[in-house]
Amino acid sequence: MKNLDKLVESLKSSLSDNLVSIIAFGSQANVLDAKLNLNLMIITNSLEAENLYEISKPVKNWVKQKNPIPVIMTKDEWYSSFDVYALEYSDMKDNYRVIYGEDLVSHVSINKYFLRLQCESELKNLLLKYKNNFLMNVKSDREMKKLLNNVIKTLVVIFRSILRLHDRAVPYRAVDIIEHCSDILSFNKIVMTKLAKIKYENDICNKQELLFIENELLKDIQSLLKQVDAMHF
């Protein structure tokens, strides 16, 4: 990847010995010829405003190539965040590639207590956002479809962590993740699978299906929150 190589060289030049690691993570992490949408984690020994100023131009150029803005943190922040970012770290452990420097991901240890707690927190936030967006956009099918896409994306992330909490293997496809998670949690599998197919497999739904999904999803998120809250690890 020409753009990635250019970014790495710019970071190495600007940060020098302060640069500890550059890690690709997420679905594109191990796609060696990925052209865009590559998530990066940049780890430094220390971080001051001057460092951010020095790397702002190459980072802006990277984002202009339709990539997410990199996550930047110090090594101390990395090792002190296993609790608050347990869900993100557990996802990263399953799919990452070291682009430069130290392999810090292999040292990550996820505490199930913190992972369950974050799943609960994410579900609470999701429920609040869903209700608020429902109120504001229920008359617009287009906006509701956007909302449902965002909801299933978040739920799939949570479902992956639920599987890890129960020491289950995590499949790649969203529909398979939902299938496996239905052995642990109670929810409308037909609705969840339909949403996953719409989001990830270009399936479509009509007006009647949309209304049914909207209603069932509210009940499901409420139920999932209660079930995850009752889990103990």
Higher pLDDT, 107 or 170: 170
User: According to the model, what pLDDT value does residue 160 have?
Assistant: 97
Residue 112 has pLDDT above 90, yes or no: yes
Among candidate residues 107, 123, 143, the one where a domain is terminated: 107
144 and 94 belong to one structural domain: no
Give the CB-side neighbour count of residue 82, counting CA atoms within 13 A. Answer: 15
Among candidate residues 82, 107, 132, the one where a domain is terminated: 107
Question: 218 with 132: CB under 8 angstroms?
Answer: no
24 and 101 belong to one structural domain: yes
CATH code of the domain containing 79: 3.30.460.10
155 and 88 belong to one structural domain: no
The mean pLDDT of the chain is 93
Orientation angle between helical segments 112-137 and 207-229, nearest 10 degrees: 150
Among candidate residues 107, 127, 158, the one where a domain is terminated: 107
**How far, in whole angstroms, is CA 173 from its chain's centroid?**
15
Q: Which two tokens stand for residue 140?
A: 């617009």
Question: 185 with 227: CB under 8 angstroms?
Answer: yes
> Strand, helix or coil at 34?
coil
66 and 134 belong to one structural domain: no
98 and 40 belong to one structural domain: yes
164 and 117 belong to one structural domain: yes
Q: Which two tokens stand for residue 91?
A: 């996802």
Look at the alpha carbons of 76, 166, 147, 93 in this order and tell me if their dihedral is positive or negative: positive
41 and 55 belong to one structural domain: yes
User: According to the model, what pLDDT value does residue 36 have?
Assistant: 64
For the chain, the residue count is 233
User: According to the model, what pLDDT value does residue 82 have?
Assistant: 92
127 and 171 belong to one structural domain: yes
97 and 203 belong to one structural domain: no
| Count of structural domains within the chain | 2
CA–CA gap between residue 102 and residue 121 (Å, rounded): 31
CA–CA gap between residue 90 and residue 190 (Å, rounded): 27
User: According to the model, what pLDDT value does residue 34 have?
Assistant: 56
pLDDT tens by residue, 74-83:
999 999 999 9
CA–CA gap between residue 28 and residue 43 (Å, rounded): 19
181 and 214 belong to one structural domain: yes
Residue 31 has pLDDT above 70, yes or no: no
118 and 82 belong to one structural domain: no
User: According to the model, what pLDDT value does residue 33 have?
Assistant: 60
Residue 137 has pLDDT above 90, yes or no: no
pLDDT tens by residue, 173-200:
999 999 999 999 999 999 999 999 999 9
Domain assignment of residue 16, given as a range: 2-107
Q: What angle do CA 197, 202, 205 make, to 5 degrees?
A: 70
Rounded-to-5 percentages of helix, strand, coil across the chain: 60, 10, 30
Residue 221 has pLDDT above 90, yes or no: yes
Question: 160 with 170: CB under 8 angstroms?
Answer: yes
81 and 122 belong to one structural domain: no
Number of C-beta neighbours around residue 173 at 10 A:
12
